[in-house]
Structure formats: C-alpha cells, structure tokens
Chains A and B, each alone.
Chain A
C-alpha cells in the first residue's frame, strides 16, 4: 500500500472541517482556511519557541502519584504516556529563546487534558526553585482543563503548593512570563496560570474558571461564542497581550531581554 498517504498526512480542521495537507498546516499548525490554532504537543511548542539544541531537561524528579485509589486511573495514565511519549502533562527544562536563557515549562493538553496532578504541580514548583537557584526568568506555557479529579484533594492542593513556590521565587526578585494557550481552565487558571508578572495568550484561546456548560446551567443563558476568549480577557484587563503564534518567540525574547536580566 505504498501509494497510500501515511496516516496524519491529511488533517481535518476541528473548527471548519476543511482537510489540509500537513505541509499546509506547517510550520505553525494553523488552519489555512479559517486560522484555527491546533493544540500543540509539548515537543511542537519547544520546536517553535526555543533555539535549536538549547533545551536541557531539569533533573527528573522521578516521582509518580500512587494510582491505587481510583479505578481505571492507572490504565488511563499508561495510555496517555504511550500516546504522548511523556511521563506527565508537563515538560520542564532550561533553554534559550533567541539567546535569552530561561527556565521553561510546557504543559501538554494531549496528556489527560493537561490536568494538574501531584507530579505536574511538583514540576512547576521545581521550575520556580531552579529559576531562583540559577537566577533565571521562568516562562510557563499553560494548557490544562484544571485539577485532575482522580487524585482528589492531593491534586487540588497543588494550587496552593505551586503558588507558595511562586511566592518564594518572587521574594528572590524572580521574573516570570506565562503564555496561556487553549485551553487554560479551572484550578490551573485559579492558581499559577494568572499569577505571572506578564500574561500573554494565544489568539482565540479559551481561558476561564468554570466551563461553558456549567455557566450556562448556573445562569440559564446562552453564552456568546467568544466568551472566555483571550481577546475578551484582554479587553477586560486580565492579560497583557494576545500574541499570534508566529510572533510568540520574538515577543518572549523581547520580554526576556527587557525584564529577565538579574540585577
């Protein structure tokens, strides 16, 4: 069957349904027909943002959360690991962005919707700790549905533990930039995602606390399509900038040049 295109060569746009060849999606994974931004894997994001060959993973914490409590959780986790090739829903390391060295974390929504569990939380703490130790700014690209239900309160309290790590980083005079991507929701938005010095977002990213259906239930209203969009948040004063994907690296580099130098 050598004449058949390899799987994934043609991709339908989740927004407009048009099929496009992978070369048409490249390099930014934006739909040529409607401008829809594909959700990137951590690897794709790294390739787009950091200087080639500069990414050095942080020391592996080699931790896993006990999965005995919740039925089917261990299997779900294993599936996510196989599917993404990642150990958890975040990748952390040191890298250069247009020669500006920083510590960087990238969440991956393809791994159980980027949900915040104990390992993800502790890796975010590590990001801030290493940022302090090495006196480097922290860049965090968020993508998450919120706290991971299967780990219960231990996942929820990562909200306060990551914020404590952020406070310690701030007390050392650290500089941090968050890039909010689609989707950034729930316990992640209500903790570390919105507490950076500079908040950037990708166009049309959905960013909010409660999900659309929950709000429609609470208020018994139909919400407009752009509700909780990055653009809406910008007009309400919740973000500093909405940055197109092709300009994100340059924008980060500028901010790191201006704010990232330790005094």
Chain B
C-alpha cells in the first residue's frame, strides 16, 4: 500500500482545505511522517492558502451605506431619519399590548361564563348582564392562564425594548 500511494498536489490542497475523509487524512499524515522531505510541499500550500486568506477586502465609496438606506427609505415611501427612531416608545407599546391582552382575555371569559350567569325567568330584554368576577377569577384559566399570558406579553415587550436600546447604543457608538 505504501508503494502505491502517491501524494499529489490536489491531495495536499484537499488536506490543507480539510476536504479529506479521516481515512485519507490519516494516509497523508502517515506518508508525511515517513517522508519528512515532502513536508515542504505542504508548507508551500499552507503559505499559499494564508496568502489567499489575507487578501484585502475592497472598500465601497464613503457614503455607500447612506445611499443604500436612502434608497430603502424611498422604496418604503419615507425618509431615512435615524434620529426619529428615538421617539418611538416601546414602553407605551408594551403597556398598550398588556392592556389589550387583558381586555381580550376578560371579554373571552365574560362570554364564556355568560349563559350560566343569566338568571332563570327574566326576560332577556330586561336583563343587564353583570360581570361575574368571582366566577371568572375562580376559573383556572383566569388564575394561571391570564397572569402567564400577561407575563409573556410583558417580557416580550421588555425584550424588544432592551434590544432596541442596545441597537441604538451601538449605532451611536
């Protein structure tokens, strides 16, 4: 097997690029161990690879990013104004979301418990429904589901708010 093994240039590149299977890699390692004079070929390839990796990136013109953002803002029908972003108040959105979630759950629970809350013998037209608070808050959905949902919404908005603060802080830095 030793005599039939020929270490080609392609094989050395594949070795350097990490394309060889473990078996093939072991073969090359063995061969190089037995023929240390061949190591120079691998060193040359590694040097070439380092040269490829060290190629410099091209630099776009100054203002390229601004032009991209302006084009994007134009496409969106607005004007690129990063400073205006500070006025967005995610806390307000968060509170709004919490209230909306709370109201939604309340309405769902009222409707869910309304048929049982209607007293017998009273005409529907004369009946003014009252909110069965005791019943609502005795249900497991209200006791566990609602706080969980509110916590989830609350954390989601808090997370958004913190992310936004980080983005702004890094952008300003």
Partners in one complex: no
